[in-house]
Amino acid sequence: MKVISERITQPTPTEVRIAREHAGLTQAQAAELVSTAKTKPYRTWSGYETTDTENVNARAIPLATWELFLLLTNQHPSMKLSFRRGGKSGAE
Biggest alpha carbon–alpha carbon distance for the chain: 50
Name which CATH class applies to 8-72: mainly alpha
Residue 62: how many CA atoms within 13 Å on its side-chain side?
Answer: 7
Sequence-distant (≥ 6) Cβ neighbours of residue 5 within 8 angstroms: 63
- Beta-carbon contacts of 14 under 8 Å, excluding residues fewer than 6 positions away, are 49, 51
CA distances from 91 to 25, 29, 37, 87, 88 (A): 27, 24, 20, 12, 8
What ranges do the domains of the chain cover?
A: 8-72
Q: How confident is the model at residue 74 (pLDDT cuts 50, 70, 90)?
A: very high
Which amino acid is it at 9? T
Work out the average pLDDT over 62-69. 94
Look up residue 78 and give its DSSP letter: S
Give pTM, 2 decimals: 0.80
Q: What is the pLDDT of residues 13-61, one digit of tens each?
A: 999 999 999 999 999 999 999 987 777 777 888 889 988 766 766 788 9
